[in-house]
Amino acid sequence: MVTRFHRLLSGWFAFPALTIAYVVAGKLGLQFAFLNASATPLWPPTGIALAALLLGGYRLWPAIFLGAFLVNVTTAGSLATSFGIATGNTLEAVIGVFLVRRFANGRRAFALPRTIFAFGVGAGFAATAVSATIGVSSLALGGYAPWPNLGPIWLTWWLGDAAGALVIAPFVIVWANERGFTESRRWAEALGVGLVMLAVATVVFSGAFQTGIRDAPLAFLCLPPLVWAAYRFGARGAASALLMLSAIAAMATVRGVGPFAIGRPNESLLLLQAFLVTMSGTVLPLAALAEDLARRAASSAENARLYRQSEGQRRTAEAFAETGRALVQSLEMGEVADRIVASVRELLGGTTAIVFQRDPATGHHTALATSGDGASAFIGLTIPAGAGAIGLAVRDRRPIVTPDVTADPRILLTPEIRKRIDQTPMRAVVAVPLVTQGRAIGAFSSAIGLVESSRRRRRSSRKPSPTTRRSPSAMRDSMTRPSRRGVPPKRPRAGRHSSRMRARSSARRWTTRRSSHVSRSSPSRALPTGAPSSWRSTAVRSAASPSIITSRRRPNGDGAISPRSPSISTRPAASAR
């Protein structure tokens, strides 16, 4: 990912900008040089140089060399010692970048715990040892460091550079590689984490809590905010919280307060740097692990989605294959129709599926095969030509989709058809004509009902309240015994609009788009020739003010579904829509 920081490093102004940044950071770090003027336990330029070469390439090494030379020549020592120290600092950055690119996945080093450990070993400890060795040797040969103090000076130099590589470099690299947060909620949570980290670090390193003459060892309290930042915001959150903690802890330790102010400033800062290096080696791998788990979870969710999609395609292919085998293996019309209706119902996911055979002479449709709940109500049903959803589909030679077959003005329902429909909870219907060689031979109809939801609603309504629990025998008697007036006890009734609304929502999920708008001004155009007058009056009434008919069904003693009498609402369908 090419970010704005990468573009800045690719321009010509990257050289002076890097040199200036190195000099300013170097002068700031040398303010904490207590053991030697050129050796400090806080050396941020190491992290800046490492991040710049890793992101901008080796071509930026002259800027690092010039910055290191200017820092040392204006502080202490001669031109020779400043040249040697600048050479060591430049080699430190070059070797560190080489090891990171070779063993730690380059600029993506903070994506995995393994590469983070490789970054710490290569850039944090091995490369910094080169700079400390060359720098201390230059000071000793130039006479600016006594030989007995070379060991403490080397340790101070090395640990200061290691802390810069493990605290400053991760912050620059992770924020340069990735873009910021895009959600305001994430920014709000990040601000909360920062405030908590600031408060905890201030309390721990302010010296407010003391045990005797020393501050209380409360440094462990800094770990929960660091873990929070690492878990919620990955490497960016962990590096940012770690940098904030380092700044507050360093200022407090120099002033002689905090859990690491145990003696002289140099020793206290060395102990603090060891703490910060340990925290960095703990929190950054944890952040990488959290991000890796998040990526794995996203990948698993995507794989699950693809698996469900492939399973749906496989079931579709199997349904088509089963239909093809049914057409090939048997010539019996009823057997073929039964297999086809079962396969297509499974394919479409409907509650009921019916195949109708068309009589070429009269144009009537007879139910040839049925499948699903409520399909038994249509066995033996003969639908006159032009009546019902299938009649409209055959007449128009196109599929018909309706969310409520009883309220659709396009569809003519005879009294017999309406009676059969009232015995089932199905309202959303799709009808497809079966045409071969330009001739309609029948139609297929599938409907969506509310059987399972009705069952759950009835079960929940029959549960006694906890305060009025009754025995099973009393409940059974109350269900079978008539009331004092001889009227069966009333059962809980569902909302008059819930059944219709769920049927419509099921139809919308089943089909991607409803058919085009249909005019309601001609209710009798679909009447077949010679239709009785009762049909015509029924069609006029349903078209003028169609009613929504909902029904509920209850299980019999053997578990079968038996129809109940429908409840009719006089609410017009036009207003319901």
Give 12-60 pLDDT, tens digit per residue: 778 899 999 999 999 999 998 888 888 999 999 999 999 999 998 899 9
Contacts 24+ apart (CB under 8 A), 67-71: 67/18, 67/19, 67/20, 67/21, 67/22, 67/23, 67/26, 68/22, 68/26, 70/19, 70/23, 71/22, 71/23, 71/26, 71/27, 71/30, 71/45
| Model pLDDT for residues 286-321, shown as the tens digit of each residue | 999 998 888 899 999 999 999 988 887 787 777 667
- Letter string b/e over residues 347-374, b meaning 16 or more CB atoms within 10 A of that residue's CB: bbebbbbbbbbbeeeebbbebbbbbbbb
Tell me what pLDDT residue 130 has.
Answer: 95
**Does the pLDDT at position 343 exceed 90?**
no
CA quadruple 309, 312, 318, 319: dihedral sign: negative
Closest to 425 measured CA to CA, from 402, 455, 399: 455
**Does the pLDDT at position 494 exceed 60?**
no
What average pLDDT does range 387-403 have in this prediction? 86
Say if CB 449 and CB 411 are below 8 A apart.
Answer: no
Domain residue ranges in the chain: 1-179, 182-329, 349-457+496-576
Top-confidence residue, 488 or 269: 269
**Does the pLDDT at position 95 exceed 90?**
yes
pTM of the entire predicted model: 0.58
**Does the pLDDT at position 535 exceed 50?**
no
Say if CB 145 and CB 36 are below 8 A apart.
Answer: yes
Class of domain 1-179: mainly alpha
Distance from C-alpha of 390 to C-alpha of 247, rounded to nearest angstrom: 78
User: CB-hemisphere CA count at 13 Å for 450?
Assistant: 27
Class of domain 349-457+496-576: alpha beta
| Model pLDDT for residues 428-476, shown as the tens digit of each residue | 888 888 887 778 888 878 777 644 434 444 444 444 444 344 444 444 4
**Does the pLDDT at position 119 exceed 80?**
yes
**Mean pLDDT rounded to a whole number for the chain:** 76
Tell me what pLDDT residue 182 has.
Answer: 57
| Per-residue confidence band for 420, with pLDDT thresholds at 50, 70 and 90 | confident
Tell me what pLDDT residue 186 has.
Answer: 80
| Model pLDDT for residues 361-372, shown as the tens digit of each residue | 888 888 888 777
**Does the pLDDT at position 9 exceed 70?**
no
Q: How far does Cα 497 stand from its chain's mean position?
A: 34
Structure token pair of residue 321: 């294959």
